């Protein structure tokens, strides 16, 4: 199984994600200390799991509905790979690989994601 986190507020208004099979494992509301312009201070976190075989198609399906402004991403991990999905851009790298993570972080910074939010687990 792959496991990840989706921030509900990261989805574009009017978006539907209806072709993906996710198991929501936890829902949490949090207050964020450091936000990017356009991000709300309260977020709804959806922890999810899905079949590892669906990792690649899931990344493609999640890239489109993410809001193009506000500095958003969704991330998940399989047993061996980390996936970090930004609006229209997917980073996939072996878990723990510094170079792959650096590339994703650099892209995140370029679209305005605050440093404290570049905190995904890989």
Q: pLDDT per residue over 51-63, tens digit each?
A: 999 999 999 999 9
Supply the pLDDT for residue 18: 81
Supply the pLDDT for residue 108: 97
Supply the pLDDT for residue 113: 94
Q: Which residue stretches of the chain have pLDDT < 50?
A: none
Supply the pLDDT for residue 21: 87
62-67 own/partner pairs: CB under 8 Å, 24+ apart: 62/6, 62/17, 62/20, 63/87, 63/88, 63/89, 63/90, 64/88, 65/11, 65/12, 65/15, 65/16, 65/17, 66/10, 66/11, 66/12, 67/10, 67/11, 67/12
Supply the pLDDT for residue 14: 92
Q: What is the pTM of this model?
A: 0.93
Supply the pLDDT for residue 77: 98
Supply the pLDDT for residue 38: 87
């Amino acid at each position: 199984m792959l496991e990840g986190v989706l921030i509900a507020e990261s989805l574009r208004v009017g978006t539907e994600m209806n072709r993906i099979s996710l198991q929501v494992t936890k829902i949490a509301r949090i207050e964020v200390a450091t936000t990017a312009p356009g991000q709300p201070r309260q977020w709804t976190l959806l922890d999810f799991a899905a079949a590892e075989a669906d990792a690649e198609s899931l990344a493609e399906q999640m890239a489109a509905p993410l809001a193009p402004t506000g500095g958003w991403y969704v991330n998940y991990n399989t047993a061996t790979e980390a996936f970090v999905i930004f609006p229209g851009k997917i980073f996939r790298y072996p878990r723990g690989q510094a170079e792959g993570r650096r590339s994703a972080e650099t892209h995140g910074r370029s679209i305005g994601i605050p440093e404290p939010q570049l905190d995904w687990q890989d």
